[in-house]
Structure 1
Amino acid sequence: MENWEYKTVKYQTGGFLGGKVDEEEFENLLNEYGMKGWELVSCFDTNAGQGHSRDVIAVFKRKS
């Protein structure tokens, strides 16, 4: 049976009221975890309203 470990990473988009995702910075974050063997399995944002995201939550897994 395979065993998995999971990691949840919070990416902050900016100040108290939220902001827009810096795509290049976010992609670099994802690639950093990918190089360490983590696979992205889910990604969602926490809405700050009016089209802005407060945080982006990325969930990763890898075999332990």
Structure 2
Amino acid sequence: MMVQWEYRTVKYQTGGFLGGKVNEEELDELLNKHGYEGWELVSCFDTSQTQGQSRDVVMVFKRQAYVGG
């Protein structure tokens, strides 16, 4: 049987409309929450602004899908 995956895309907002700095503690909590649910982070990127600020951090997770049978 072939392994099947399901994916989840999560957008973490760093601040208001103009963006801001990443709150590492908040981001860790979000990553751990998804990890406890069996999701594995496979990709992550930010939507860059100016002077080291980001508007959003976009994360893509995957986990094995269990198909009934």
TM-score range normalised by the length of the shorter chain: over 0.9
Local SS of the residue matching 1:49: coil
Partner letter of residue 35 of structure 2?
G
Give the structure with higher Rg (CA): 2
* Alpha-carbon distance, 1:40 to partner: 0.4
2:63 corresponds to 1:62? yes
1:50 aligns with 2:51: yes
2:52 partner letter? G
Long gaps (5+) in structure 2: none
Coordinate RMSD, CA, aligned: 0.5
Bigger proportion of residues as strand = 1
Where do 1:1-64 residues align within 5 Å? 1-64=2-65
Q: Number of paired residues?
A: 64
Query: Shift of the alpha carbon at 1:39?
Result: 0.3
Distance in structure 1 (CA, Å) of the matches to 2:21 and 2:49 = 10
Which runs of 5 or more residues in structure 1 are unaligned? none
Partner Cα separation in structure 1 for residue 27 and residue 60 of structure 2: 13
